[in-house]
Structure 1
Amino acid sequence: MNPFVENSFKSRLASRRLQVGLWSSLCSNIVAEILAHSGFDWILLDTEHSPNELPGLLSQLQAMKSGHACPIVRVASNDPVLIKRVLDIGFTSILVPFIESEGEAEKAVKACLYPPAGIRGVTGSGRASQYGRHTKYLYEANDSICVILQIESLVGLNELDRIAKMDGVHGVFVGPSDLAASMGHIGNPSHVDVQKTIADAGKRLSELGIPAGILSSSEESAKRYTQWGYSFVAVGSDIGLVANGASKLVALFADE
């Protein structure tokens, strides 16, 4: 029996079907399991701005296995070693942050793929290959990997066409917060100039035929982004759900 599982997130991404996701930074296998069964199409486990380390990522990935949501991981940087390690434990969809050039895009893609297409290091006994039991893994892995590059600055957006059209790139994710900071509006991604830039990026990616993703801070902005051509949208975060839910619950009893 072939244990190889198709990357359904990658397949849906290629079809440009809307996929609703959630950002996860709480570093908890229990939270990951709850979220995976909540109806989201994908859950991103963040390692750039959260204290997620490899053993914790593995336990979260295991917890999500029986859920509906596809796991994605954002590595901390465009580092072939970091990328190799998350692939070896079984992630097949990778978000690489802060891409600003064609060369950086090529570096990220090559880190995700085995030779001759890339430079990913080889192990025959990792979890991704069912600890060596899936003997064809090395030959089939490249087809399952989904590479998403994150553009978070005006420098990156100026190179958008070259980055997005790099062979092996399956989607481009726009980061509103860092983009706002690069435009002189730190802490204010809702600024009209930032939103115009996000709308333009969505249009450009649609014209290129490249799926566009983004993180939204509200239901209103999420719906606006889908109208601008973004097809995989994080509609919130686990931290936001907990913090806002707790604050609202306390507020109900504030005058008691």
Structure 2
Amino acid sequence: MPNQFKRTLKEGKQQIGIWSSIPSPFVTELLAGSGYDWILLDTEHAPAGVPQMIEQLRAADAARPGAGGRTSAVVRPAWNDAVLIKQYLDIGAQTLLLPFVQNAEEAHYAIAATRYPPLGTRGVSGAMRASNFGRNASYLHCAHEDTCLLVQVETREALAEIEGIARLDGIDGIFIGPSDLSASMGHPGDSKHPEVDAAICDAIVRIRACGKAPGILMADAARASKYLQLGAQFVAVAMDVGALRMSIEHSLRQFR
């Protein structure tokens, strides 16, 4: 299946997403039908793994398209690990967001893990979900064409390596992790700190100047709009856990 998310990034267009940490196919289907361009399905900070993710990907595929069309699923493995990358690609994930990539060497490792030999090091299986259990004979030869690789820069040190990471063929986008970045810069829990905000703005401009797509998670509407205006292309503007918590607590406060 063509990767619409990847193609839209290459066209330079912006995509608005929602961040999902609730490991439930029911919730995934609900969110994927809400009209967002993409949905992040998390396993780094969510209690989910490969078997659970199969069901979430099925739910995303089954969701009725929202007002903006079909929602693309982006899977975040727990780490930049070749085994995890292989497993998530094998079950059908087309777009991966890999956390805590610090430099070009680590980014190159990630690229290799998403490609079959001779282009990379991805392990070969002839009968996995991604190839329709072996029915798609061309999968081994062209899978990388629709694999979208996004890497996270989320420390002061990683920001200094943006150009080196971005120049690598195979990196489709670079995601700025605001929470880890603020902690790395000495402002844990305060991504609004002027120093952190300035670093994010600078990173977005530099990533875009390198010809790659910048991305970020930002639930603050004003700041999300600011980053979009600077050139961010894939921005998650809502989180399911946070939205649920705030909504139910707001409802309770009306009666207590």
Q: TM-score range by the shorter chain?
A: over 0.9
Structure 2 CA distance for aligned equivalents of residues 44 and 113 of structure 1? 22
What is the RMSD of the two structures over their aligned residues, measured on CA atoms?
Answer: 0.8
Alignment of 1:157-236 (within 5 A): 157-236=159-238
For residue 39 of structure 1, what is the amino acid of its counterpart?
G
Deviations 1:89-125 (A, max 9, x none): 0000001110111100000111111111110000010
Deviations 1:53-111 (A, max 9, x none): 11110001001103321001011111000000000000000011101111000001111
Partner of 1:251: 253
The reply on whether 1:40 has 2:36 as its aligned counterpart is yes
Q: How much does 1:217 deviate?
A: 2.5
Structure 1 CA distance for aligned equivalents of residues 221 and 158 of structure 2? 27
Q: How much does 1:171 deviate?
A: 0.4
Q: How much does 1:16 deviate?
A: 1.4
For residue 56 of structure 1, what is the amino acid of its counterpart?
Q
Partner of 2:67: none
TM norm structure 2: 0.96
Structure 2 CA distance for aligned equivalents of residues 42 and 7 of structure 1? 12
The reply on whether 1:28 has 2:30 as its aligned counterpart is no
Structure 1 CA distance for aligned equivalents of residues 159 and 168 of structure 2? 14
Partner of 2:115: 113
For residue 19 of structure 1, what is the amino acid of its counterpart?
Q
TM norm structure 1: 0.96
SS in 2 for 1:94: strand
Partner of 1:77: 79
For residue 23 of structure 1, what is the amino acid of its counterpart?
W
The number of aligned residues is 250
Structure 2 CA distance for aligned equivalents of residues 245 and 7 of structure 1? 33
Runs of 4 or more above 4 Å deviation: none
Pick from 132, 146, 151 the counterpart of residue 148 of structure 2: 146
Q: How much does 1:228 deviate?
A: 1.7
Structure 2 CA distance for aligned equivalents of residues 79 and 228 of structure 1? 32
The reply on whether 1:241 has 2:243 as its aligned counterpart is yes
SS in 1 for 2:84: helix
Question: Aligned residues: percent identity?
Answer: 44
For residue 236 of structure 1, what is the amino acid of its counterpart?
A
The reply on whether 1:6 has 2:2 as its aligned counterpart is yes
